Amino acid sequence: MKTIIVCDAIHPVGFELLKKEQDINVIDAVNTPKDELLKILGEADVAITRSSTEVNEAFLNAGKKLKAIVRAGVGVDNVDIEGCSRRGIIAMNVPTANTIAAVELTMAHMLASARSLEYAHNDLKLDRIWKREKWYGVELFKKKLGVIGFGNIGSRVAVRAKAFGMEIIAYDPYIDPSKVIDMGGTYTKNFDDILACDFITIHTPKTKETTNMIGAKEIAKMKDGVRLINCARGGLYNEEALYEGLKSGKIAFAGIDVFTREPATDHPLLDLNNVSVTPHLGANTLESQRNIAVEAVEQAILAARGISYPNALNLPIKTEDLPPFVEPYIDLTSKMAFLAAQINKSVIKAIRIETHGQISEYANSMLTFAIVGALKESLGDAINYVNAKFLCDEKGIVTETSLGGDSIFKNKITVRLTTENGIVTVGGTVFGENQQRIVTINGFKTDFKPKGKMIIFKNHDVPGVIAQISKILADEKINIADFRLGRDDHNMALAVILVDEHIKAETLERLNALEACVWAQYAVI
């Protein structure tokens, strides 16, 4: 039994998901004073935190059993990542759950900056002044929008701005230019092209490289009457330079949701009448709070079970140095290996990953994650990303990578485990930015998300098998969430049956007893 402690408030759906897991014990410490929290942290394997909890030295020293920390949100300014690394604790965040909320707030500030909406509103509602000629704005139509950072949020802002008829100029040295070009925008490596735009919006993480990315020098190069938006992180625009630019009129208007120091109740920007401000509301929608809770809990459960560590910030491989398309394959590889070990529960002799496509350049990095996933079932907490290859050498387990054959997929990874009972292979790919799919098991085609409770059932391809499986599960009051069936040319079939309830050993025995059954296994990812 693993223990997850929830240190700060999350959407109720998060607790509902945690309580459904039979192998997870939950500590609700949402209302526990922070000094008292330190006294109970020692019981937890994984902690879920938000901005109210400082993950500092005292926190980490108290969490003697901690294997992972999930920051339920994007920002990790309050997490001592280096301290986590020294103690072997994996730190994770939830970077995409509030994507749409941040995108839509950016568009709201962009529209406000074009039409001075708040000030016109206050004139009429608070001061009861009807003076239309005072509030001439500008249109978004045919204006150039400079997008700094073209990831999950920046790219979606661009799509919406394009619907307004804006011309998109994107600057992001870490993406494939085709991502911009394919949506009808212009990709540039020249930052001056951004500074020449009518509107500029920034969507980068806060790093040494991006802090004060826009300062007095950059503002001086901008066109007169430029409009700036920041719904990303405080300090990406130098706030003193921003203030001077707004005060002088060089910057016509700014839309700001984030500040270097928060709460910013006495910030100089609040004294200006050409800035729209919000108190860091980027993630503040009902939908995004629910999404954050769901994703944080799902990541915490995976970490507690040692299956994988989605969105980890301190893995032995520097994910920030990898192309964006690679990171989802790290998580997928670990999950596929964990599934393979559950399908073929026997002593592992060899772990091999076969790669196809550009992902092959990163095969050696992926191998470590395959090892941890494959051996987690048998070694539990004894295996980690630091000692993975050493343990394989010690146990005589062969580890290797190889190039796979032709594939219909642009990129594909197959995990191949050789055990005393034979060989099992699980292949997968990623669609879009992070739509992970398992697409083959032992050569049988399939297509499902690597998530949840599932029965893997191999059988002779004869009539009536699906009906027999359904009857057994119905008898046990087990709901089928999804049913994926693959067939081969040798009159064999393999089904992946996703279920809502835990499968008991007796139920699995009944399935294995069916005449057409070759084998049936139960797995949880």
161, 107 in Cβ contact below 8 A? yes
Q: Are 366 and 315 within 8 A, CB to CB? A: no
Phi-psi region of 410 (alpha: psi -120 to 50; beta: other; left: phi over 0): alpha
3-state secondary structure of 210: coil
Residue found by looking up tokens 């079939």 in the block: 493
Contact 125, 96 (CB under 8 A): no
Please check whether residue 416 is in contact with residue 433, taking contact to mean a CB–CB distance below 8 angstroms: no
Beta-strand (E) ranges in 221-311? 226-230, 251-256, 275-277
Give the side-chain half-sphere CA count within 13 A for 412. 18
Pair 221, 242: CB distance under 8 Å: no
CA distance 178 to 181: 5
CA-to-CA dists, residue 48 to 52, 90, 248, 467, angstroms: 11, 12, 45, 42
Residues recognised as catalytic: 233, 262, 280
Q: What are phi and psi of 348, to 5 degrees?
A: -85, 130
Where are the alpha helices (H) located in 344-484, listed in sequence order? 363-379, 388-395, 465-475
User: How is residue 333 written in tokens?
Assistant: 């590889």
Q: Which two tokens stand for residue 250?
A: 């060089």
CA distance 308 to 332: 8
Residues with Cβ within 8 Å of residue 151, at least 6 apart in sequence: 172, 175, 203, 324
Whether the Cβ atoms of residue 119 and residue 273 lie closer than 8 Å to each other: yes
Whole-angstrom Cα distance, residue 5 to residue 7? 6
